[in-house]
């Protein structure tokens, strides 16, 4: 299932970065079937460690939101195709969001479910490694970096 972003999502990113999500159709993360309520934290100020999350829980500072769970690296690749400068903000200011296993929770009120997606480009693979590069100039495409070993092997074959 996919969701289309129909309103600017809340968050800590600048307004223009958050507005860039408008109109994008994003696949739900693997195993997700609809919206649900989960604990949330800011991409800049949220706790990124187990201990930090536990402390917020024990002190009653944990916030919850109802929305759709989206694979963050996959969503960011789609965002990069539409708005490279917005994706660059995520790369520079919240690089942890590009790591495999990271998710975004888009609030239900800014999404509409898309049950059948128009024919066209498939959703990108959620797998991304630190050796992949992102270029904000031109169409966004994530490709593995060529290493000296790779170049040497290519020449020898």
Phi and psi at 16, nearest 5°, equal -65, -30
Identify the bridge partners of residue 111 per DSSP, sorted by sequence position: 5
Encoding tokens for residue 48?
């990124």
Q: Which residue in 19, 63, 21 sits closest to 41, CA to CA?
A: 63
pLDDT of residue 10: 93
pLDDT tens over the chain, length 157 residues:
999 999 999 988 999 999 999 999 999 999 999 999 988 877 656 555 666 655 555 666 677 889 999 999 999 999 999 999 999 999 999 998 899 999 999 999 999 999 766 644 555 554 443 334 443 333 333 333 334 444 444 555 5
The pLDDT, as a whole number, for residue 41 is 72
CA nearest 17: which of 79, 65, 105?
Answer: 79
**Cβ-based neighbours of 15, under 8 Å, separated by 6 or more:** 8
pTM beyond 0.85: no
pLDDT given for residue 129 in this prediction: 38
**Residue 145 in tokens:** 């970096």
pLDDT for residue 47: 56
DSSP readout, 97-113? GGSTT-EEEEEGGGEEE
**Alpha-carbon span 3 to 1, nearest angstrom:** 7
CB-CB contact of 86 with 39 (8 Å): no
Looking at residue 111, its pLDDT comes to 96
| Alpha helices, DSSP H, located in 59-147 | 72-82, 84-93
Residue where the block lists tokens 């690296």: 73
Q: Is 56 exposed, middle or buried (0-12, 13-18, 19+ CB in 10 A)?
A: middle
What was the pLDDT predicted at 157? 52
């Amino acid at each position: 299932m996919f969701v289309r972003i129909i309103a600017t999502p809340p968050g800590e990113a600048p307004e223009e970065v958050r507005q860039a999500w408008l109109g994008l159709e994003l696949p739900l993360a693997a195993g997700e079937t609809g919206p649900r309520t989960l604990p949330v934290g800011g991409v800049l100020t949220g706790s990124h460690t187990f201990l930090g999350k536990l402390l917020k829980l024990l002190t009653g500072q944990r916030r919850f939101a109802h929305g759709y769970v989206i694979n963050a690296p996959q969503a960011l690749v789609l965002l990069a195709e539409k708005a490279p400068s917005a994706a660059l903000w995520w790369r520079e200011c919240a690089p942890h969001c590009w790591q495999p296993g990271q998710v975004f929770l888009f609030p239900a009120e800014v999404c509409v479910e898309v049950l059948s997606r128009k024919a066209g480009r498939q959703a990108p693979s959620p797998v991304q490694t630190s050796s992949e590069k992102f270029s904000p100039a031109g169409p966004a495409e994530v490709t593995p970096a060529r290493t000296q070993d790779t170049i040497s092997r290519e020449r020898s074959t």
